[in-house]
Amino acid sequence: MSQELLVTNQVLRYENGKVQLVEDTIVTEYPITIVLNGEEFATLVCSPEDLEDLVVGFLASEGIISRYEDIKDIQIIELTGKAIVTTHRVNKLNEKFHSKRIVSSCCGKSRQSFYFYNDARTVKPIETKEKVISIGDCFRLMDTMQNSSTIFQETGGVHNAALCDKNGIIVAKTDIGRHNALDKIYGYCLKHSISMEDKVIVFSGRISSEVLIKVAKIKCGVVLSKSAPTELSLRLANELGITAVGFIRKKALNVYTNPERIIGLEGEEIVQQHASCALN
């Protein structure tokens, strides 16, 4: 039985001084438990779409697998909310990391603490600094991603993420959890042998430290967002060599870190001054 992505619910809508009883479209929240080599490993709360991509990307992001071929077998059982995964091997992890964890769909502290065990081992700086995208591309890709998400248009209750190059979107994913949307992209690319290193992540949500770390794990040097970054994410972006661009709206955007990858930033002296004032 396939899980529904959307459901309808009757609501009281107040508008222009009047109250109406209307049907509203609501996104589904779905828990899936990963059973890794016979043991419960983690429970993800997500949108019930592209679940195999999500599981593969999550395991890669957490350092359990390095490539899709490390997985011997994977079965998604939607009726029971289980993902049964058998791997050829498991990368060595802290024993505490093997215990079952509940990973919330929210973007708060509970999710953040989950990453501290293995981030230092799996995240490496992005070395290449070639110009890869123009100012115009930033606006165009953001608009294309947002306008192409029918679920977002209907509900406003999901995050969108897309892997892009300057020519357009290569793959786009949607989920109630912004981290899940990125994991779905990661898993899809691993499954289909798509190189991510010379690409750009376009993202609808806030650039948190967690999102920044995931972008680094995917090995993208540029992340574009219509929202704001956090202070810690910008420190990480500087340390990891990632170009962070936020508040991409209408005809304005902010380039926070590593502007050398952006084509069309006028004023070389200003760009150099920005680099010298980067966060320590």
Q: Catalogue the active-site residues.
A: 107
| Contact of 202 with 148, CB cutoff 8 Å | no
Rounded Cα gap, residues 186 and 202, in angstroms:
13
- What value does the CA radius of gyration of the chain take, rounded to a whole number of Å? 20
Structure tokens at 261: 């990858």
Taking the C-alpha atoms of residue 234 and residue 236, their distance in angstroms, rounded to an integer, is 5
User: Which DSSP state fits 64?
Assistant: S
Please check whether residue 126 is in contact with residue 240, taking contact to mean a CB–CB distance below 8 angstroms. Answer: yes
Nearest in space to 225 (alpha carbons), one of 242, 259, 201, 252: 201
Cα dist from 138 to 8, 114, 165, 183, 202, whole Å: 34, 31, 10, 22, 8
How far is the C-alpha of 47 from the C-alpha of 239, rounded, in Å? 32
Q: Do 82 and 5 contact (CB within 8 A), yes or no?
A: no
CA-closest candidate to residue 109, choices 231, 232, 227, 210:
210
Structure tokens at 262: 């952006």
